[in-house]
Structure 1
C-alpha cells in the first residue's frame, strides 16, 4: 500500500511539474513577436525601413510557422516530442540573440529563426495536452493559452520602457527575452527523460483518410488563419493607430499591453465553456460581434478613454478567438494523431494566411496615410471569421 501511495504521489508530482513546464514553454511563444510592435517606429527610423518592410518583422515568423507546422509532428516522432520542444526553445533563444546582433540582415535572419523555434512548440503542445490530460484537455488549453497571453502582453508593455526609459535601445529591449527562453529551456529539460514513453504516439498516419479533403478541417483552418490575421495585424499596428489618435509613444505601446491583458480572462474561459457546449457556434458569434463593435469604435475615433474601451473589446475578442482556435484542434479530432494532423494543417495554412495581415495593413496605410481603409479591411476579415467559425463550431470530427 505504501509503495502504491508513493508511486501515486510521484505520478501526481510529475504531472504537476509537467503543467509547470508547459506553462513556461507557453510564456515564450509570443514575447519575441509582440515586443516588436511598440518598437517598430524606432527600428524603422534606425534602419531606414518602410512601413511595409517593418511589417515583415511580424510577418516573417508567421511564414516560418506556415513552413514548419506540417513537419513539426514528424520532428516530434523522430526526436521525441519533449526533445523537439526543447530544440524549438533553443532555436528561439538563438534567434532572439541573432536578431539583436547587427543590421537588417541579422534582424531578419534572427526573426526567421524565432519563427522556426516557436512553430515546433505551437504544433506539438496541443498534442501533448490531449495525450497527457485527455480528461482535462479543454481546461489545460485554457491554462497554457492564458499563460501565453500573460507574457505576450507583458512584452508589449515593457518594450518602450526598456528601450527609452532605461535607455537600452530597441536592440537590448528585444534581447532581454532571450533570458526567459533560457529559463524555459532548463525547466523543460527534465521532460527529456520521459520522451521514450511517448515517442511515436503523436504522428501523422494515412489510415484515416486525407485531412485536406475534410470540409470541417478547412473551416477550422480558416478560423485559425483569420483570427491570426486580426491578431498579428493589431499587435503590429495598434501602437501606430493609437499614436495617430493623439497618444504619446509610451501610452501607445501601453495600449498594446492593455489589448492583450484584456484578453487573458477570455482566453481561459472560452475553452472551458467550449468543452461543455454541444457546439461552439454561439461563442464564435459573440467573438465576431465584439470585433465589429470595436472596429466601428476605432473608425469613429475619440479620446484616450474611449480608445481604451475599444482596445479592451478587441482584447476580449482576440483572447477568446485564439484559445477557441486551439480548442478546435482537440474537440474536432477523435484522437491524438488526428489532433496533430489538424494542428499541423490549420497552423501551417492559417499562419500563411495571417502573414499577409501586417503587410497589407502597412501597405494600405502607406498609400492612404490614414487608418480608415485598414480598419475597414479588418472588419471584413471579422465577418468572414464568423462564417468560418460557425462551420468549425459544429459538433463533428474532421475524419
Structure 2
C-alpha cells in the first residue's frame, strides 16, 4: 500500500497546506539579511539591491488577479501544484550566480508565491468551512516560524558556503511541499463557476471615501512592513550590530508576525468598532521604530514589537475589506482596490527608502518616514475602523473572478 493511502485525504491536505505556508514568505524575505553581502558582489546601489524585495511584490500585483482563472481552468489543487513547481524553478534560477538570474528568479518566485497566496485561502474556505479560524491561525504561525528560521540561518550559511547556497537551500521547502501535495492531484474537485457578471449601479468603490480609507490603511501597512523588512538588517548593522546578529533579529521580527492573529482574530470578531484596535496596533509599530532610533541597544525588544504591531494592522486591513462591504460584490470590488493600492505602495517602499538612505547617508531619516506612515495608519484606522458599511444603493462595479490575494 502506498504511503499516500495510509492517511485520509484531509490529513494529507492539512499537512500540505502547512508545508505550503512555509514557502509563502521565507524564500523571499530572507533575502533582506543578505542585501549588504550582495551589494559588493554585483556593485549594486542601495536602491538597486532593494529591487530584490520589490520585484516579488510587483509579481504579486500582476499575477494575483489571474490565479483564480488558472484554478478554474485546471483545478485548485493542480494550480497550487503548478505554483510550487514555479517556485522550485525560480529558486534554482535565482541561485545560479548571475545578476540577471538573481533578478529574474526573484521575479518568477514572486509569481509562484502570488498564486499560493491567492488560492490557499479559497482551499480553506472550500474544504474546512467550520475550521477556518483555527487553520488560519496555525497557517500564520507556520509561515512566521518558517520565515524567522530562514532569516536566522541565511547569513551563517552564506558565510560558511556562499550566497548561492544560502538562497538555494530554500528549494527544500517547495520540493517537500510538492511531494506532500501529490495525493491532491488524484482528488481534484470541480471548481464552481465563478460569477463574472458585472454589477453596475451609479458609483464605483473607487469614488467612495470609506473604500479609500480601507485601501490606504491596508496599503500604508504593506508599505511600512515591506520597507522595514527589507532594510532592517542594514539598519541594525548601521546601529552597530554584526551582520549575523542583524539576521537573527530580522528572524525574530518575522517570528513575532506569527502571533497577532491568535489575539486579533477573535478580538475583531467580537468588536463592533475597530478604531481603538487600529490605533493601538499602529501605535505599537510607531513606538518600536522610535525605540530603535533612540534606544538601539534594546533592538531585540523593538523588532519583536514591530513585528507584532505591523502584522496586527495588516490583519485588520484584510478584515476591514469584509467588514465594511455590505454585499459580496462590494467585497470583491473593495478587495481588488485594496490589493491594487497595497501592492503598488509596498513595491515602491524599499526602493524609495533605499534611495533616501543613499541621499542622506543614514537610516534615521528613512525610519522617521516609516514613523510618519504609522501615524497615518492610525488616522486612517479611525475612519476604516468605524462600524459602517459602503452604501448598498450606491455604485459597485465588481468582477468577482478577481478574488482576494490574502
TM-score normalised according to structure 2 size = 0.86
Counterpart position of 2:254: 260
The 1:102/1:44 distance shift into structure 2, 3 A limit, reads same
State the alpha-carbon separation in 1 of the partners of residues 216 and 100 from structure 2.
32
- Output the aligned Cα RMSD: 2.6
What residue ranges of structure 2 are gaps of 5+ in the alignment? 391-395, 397-406
Counterpart position of 1:108: 103
How far the C-alpha of 1:324 sits from its partner, in A, is: 3.2
Matched, 1:273 2:267: yes
Matched, 1:239 2:239: no
Contact 1:233-1:361 within 8 A present in 2 as well: yes
What residue ranges of structure 1 are gaps of 5+ in the alignment? 1-9
For residue 92 of structure 2, the aligned residue among 97, 103, 116 is: 97
For residue 70 of structure 1, the aligned residue among 65, 74, 78 is: 65
Matched, 1:147 2:139: no
Counterpart position of 1:282: 276
Contact 2:58-2:347 within 8 A present in 1 as well: yes
Contact 1:72-1:344 within 8 A present in 2 as well: no
State the alpha-carbon separation in 1 of the partners of residues 280 and 355 from structure 2.
30
State the alpha-carbon separation in 1 of the partners of residues 46 and 262 from structure 2.
34
For residue 80 of structure 1, the aligned residue among 71, 75, 92 is: 75
State the alpha-carbon separation in 2 of the partners of residues 80 and 331 from structure 1.
29
How far the C-alpha of 1:334 sits from its partner, in A, is: 7.0
How far the C-alpha of 1:192 sits from its partner, in A, is: 3.2
TM-score normalised according to structure 1 size = 0.87
Contact 2:324-2:388 within 8 A present in 1 as well: yes
Contact 1:229-1:354 within 8 A present in 2 as well: yes
How far the C-alpha of 1:211 sits from its partner, in A, is: 5.2
Matches within 5 A, 1:218-233: 218-233=212-227
Q: Secondary structure at the match of 1:367?
A: helix
How far the C-alpha of 1:284 sits from its partner, in A, is: 1.1
1:230-263 residue CA offsets vs partner (Å, 9 max, x unmatched): 1111121111111111111110111101112123
**Length, aligned pairs only:** 384
State the alpha-carbon separation in 1 of the partners of residues 205 and 154 from structure 2.
41
Counterpart position of 1:18: 13
Counterpart position of 1:4: none
